[in-house]
Amino acid sequence: MNTKAAVTTPRGLGAIANIQLAGDDAAKAIARVARPTPKIFTAGRIHVCEVIDGDNVIDHVVIGHESQNNFAISCHGNPFITEAIIKLLQKHGAQIVSKEEMLLDLSGTENTIGAEAKLAKLKAPSIEAVKLIAAQSHQGLAMTAAKWLAEIDALDLPQIKNQCDNILADSAKAKFLITGCKAVIAGAPNSGKSTLINALAGKQKAIVTDIAGTTRDWVSINCRIGPVLVEFIDTAGLDENLTKDDVDKASQQAAHKMIENADLIVYLNDAQAPPENSTLGRLADKTVIFVQNKCDLLSDEQKNSLPAGDIHLSAVTGLGIDKLCDAIIDILEVKGLGPQTPVCFTQRQTDLLTTISNAKEVSDAKTAITQLL
Ligand SMILES: Nc1nc2c(ncn2[C@@H]2O[C@H](COP(=O)(O)OP(=O)(O)OP(=O)(O)O)[C@@H](O)[C@H]2O)c(=O)[nH]1
Ligand SMILES: [Mg+2]
């Protein structure tokens, strides 16, 4: 294998950073840059030394000899230091590669799903996502596909297709854990959308006034709700009559576009005002949580007459925000996904499962299953 080097920690200041060096000439490169030079290279040992470029000391480091021809250099966490070391390794024959390429190279003979899991885990936004992805390489998806392949001649195609469709349905839910969820806060002007986003953010992100039409451009924040990273987007209040000037028109169009592209709509109604029906038609094919806001202004009798299925909330006092969070987790249906659930977490896997699901012949399904592994 060509000798390659990659910085495997993120760029930025930190106590330490890590550089991975692997390949046929890795030990030779280490011998040229480490002072004192390790007398013998033994996998599993560490070597404390200086990294030198001629007479210049670049850093004091710890070099871990992880396996044959594979070294981890732990240096001090300053991007200028990592850059100097990586350039030095390049001068001594190493090819600089991304950490993703390095990880794939080091994953060796593992199955393709295992290699994909290694990369996906790097970006997973929660520990639940890490566990779900990690399990796919030896249980979940890999195990299911291996079982299909082993029994392919005995299985009938409709049975495999049916399982594929279930996995694709679970994968759509797993996507919320693995990449997060885009939730648009929509509703009529003055219903309290910006007040809600500020309450969720815990600070003022959007301007709040009692003038209808305050928000024109959109504001977004990221919140962790249970295991899901939710991007909440505050939009302009929906009003079919706001077509007077170009800015109003543009803000209405932007709000509708946001709604189209959202995974979830949190639809706010001012509980004191009559329900806003004019825009509801547009939400027909969307996942929507209906919220009655400003409940702090209602009497008990008025509260009792609100639609029972809606979330009763006060964005000003915070009352009901916990119920809204619970409703989000429930509606995304992520709770039932355990590490054993087979799911796709890359487009390649989704495409292959779709191919299997649409296969006309067992042989077509077999080819796609083999590629999956
Ligand atoms: N009492 C009470 N007032 C609220 C609540 N939520 C919002 N308000 C008030 O309602 C008014 C409008 O709030 P905003 O958050 O600006 O409403 P909006 O939906 O963002 O309005 P637009 O940006 O114009 O679409 C402000 O005066 C808020 O203080 C609530 O839960 N209770
Ligand atoms: Mg607003």
Average pLDDT in the 16-30 region? 95
Ligand 2 (single-atom ion) residues, CB below 5 Å: 193-194, 214-215
Report how far residue 340's alpha carbon sits from residue 141's, in angstroms, rounded to the nearest whole number. Answer: 9
Distance of CA 169 to CAs 92, 165, 236, 357, 373, Å? 50, 6, 33, 12, 20
- Per-residue pLDDT, 362: 84
Q: Which residue has the tokens 């760029």?
A: 11
Average pLDDT in the 238-256 region? 81
- Per-residue pLDDT, 242: 67
Report how far residue 313's alpha carbon sits from residue 276's, in angstroms, rounded to the nearest whole number. Answer: 17
Express as a percent the part of the chain with pLDDT over 70.
97
Concatenated DSSP letters of 151-164 = TTTTS-HHHHHHHH
Bridge-based pairing state of the strands 181-187 and 264-270 = parallel
Q: For residue 355, how many other CB atoms are within 10 A of its CB?
A: 17
- Residue 194: which pLDDT band, with cuts at 50, 70 and 90? very high
- Per-residue pLDDT, 322: 96
- Say if residue 322 is exposed, middle or buried (CB neighbours under 10 Å; 0-12, 13-18, 19+): exposed
Are the CB atoms for 235 and 215 separated by under 8 Å?
Answer: yes
Write the pLDDT tens digit of every residue in 292-313. 999 999 999 998 888 888 999 9
Write the pLDDT tens digit of every residue in 320-369. 999 999 999 999 999 889 878 999 999 999 999 999 999 988 888 889 99
Question: Which of 184, 190, 198 has the most ligand 1 atoms within 8 A of CB, as the residue to mutate?
Answer: 190
Domain with CATH 3.30.1360.120 in the chain: 4-106
Residue 130's nearest CA partner among 72, 174, 182 is 174
Average pLDDT in the 229-239 region? 91
- Per-residue pLDDT, 289: 96
Write the pLDDT tens digit of every residue in 266-299. 999 999 987 766 666 667 789 999 999 999 999 9
**Closest C-alpha to ligand 1, atom 8:** 192
**Closest C-alpha to ligand 1, atom 26:** 210
Report how far residue 125's alpha carbon sits from residue 132's, in angstroms, rounded to the nearest whole number. Answer: 12
Concatenated DSSP letters of 27-72 = HHHHHHHEESPPSS--TT-EEEEEEEETTEEEEEEEEEEEETTEEE
- Residue with the bigger pLDDT between 22 and 244: it is 22
- Per-residue pLDDT, 108: 65
CA 196 to ligand 1 centroid distance, Å: 8
What fold, for 180-332? Answer: Rossmann fold (3.40.50)
Residue 130 pLDDT > 90, yes or no? Answer: yes
- Residue with the bigger pLDDT between 52 and 243: it is 52
CA 214 to ligand 1 centroid distance, Å: 10
CA 332 to ligand 1 centroid distance, Å: 27
Question: Which of 193, 195, 296 has the most ligand 1 atoms within 8 A of CB, as the residue to mutate?
Answer: 195
Domain with CATH 3.40.50.300 in the chain: 180-332
Residue 10 pLDDT > 80, yes or no? Answer: yes
At the fourth CATH level, the homologous superfamily of domain 4-106 is Probable tRNA modification gtpase trme; domain 1 (3.30.1360.120)
Report how far residue 91's alpha carbon sits from residue 85's, in angstroms, rounded to the nearest whole number. Answer: 10
Q: Which residue has the tokens 């592209």?
A: 261
Find the ligand nearest to 192 CA.
Answer: 1
End-to-end CA separation in angstroms for the chain: 23
Write the pLDDT tens digit of every residue in 95-128. 999 988 888 787 765 678 988 898 898 889 989 9
- What are the pocket residues of ligand 1 if the criterion is a CB atom closer than 6 Å to any ligand atom? 189-195, 208-210, 212-215, 236-237, 293-294, 296-297, 314-316
CA 202 to ligand 1 centroid distance, Å: 16
Atom of ligand 1 nearest to the CA of 234: 20
- Per-residue pLDDT, 101: 85
Distance of CA 188 to CAs 215, 310, 323, Å? 11, 16, 21
Question: Which of 184, 208, 211, 313 has the most ligand 1 atoms within 8 A of CB, as the residue to mutate?
Answer: 208
Look at the alpha carbons of 166, 167, 168, 170 in this order and tell me if their dihedral is positive or negative: positive
Find the ligand nearest to 191 CA.
Answer: 1
Write the pLDDT tens digit of every residue in 53-105. 999 999 999 999 999 999 999 999 999 999 999 999 999 999 999 988 888 78
Report how far residue 133's alpha carbon sits from residue 113's, in angstroms, rounded to the nearest whole number. Answer: 9
- Calculate the average pLDDT of the chain: 90
**Closest C-alpha to ligand 1, atom 14:** 192
Write the pLDDT tens digit of every residue in 137-148. 888 999 999 998
Residue 283's nearest CA partner among 186, 173, 371 is 186
Distance of CA 328 to CAs 124, 162, 257, 320, 353, Å? 20, 28, 21, 13, 28
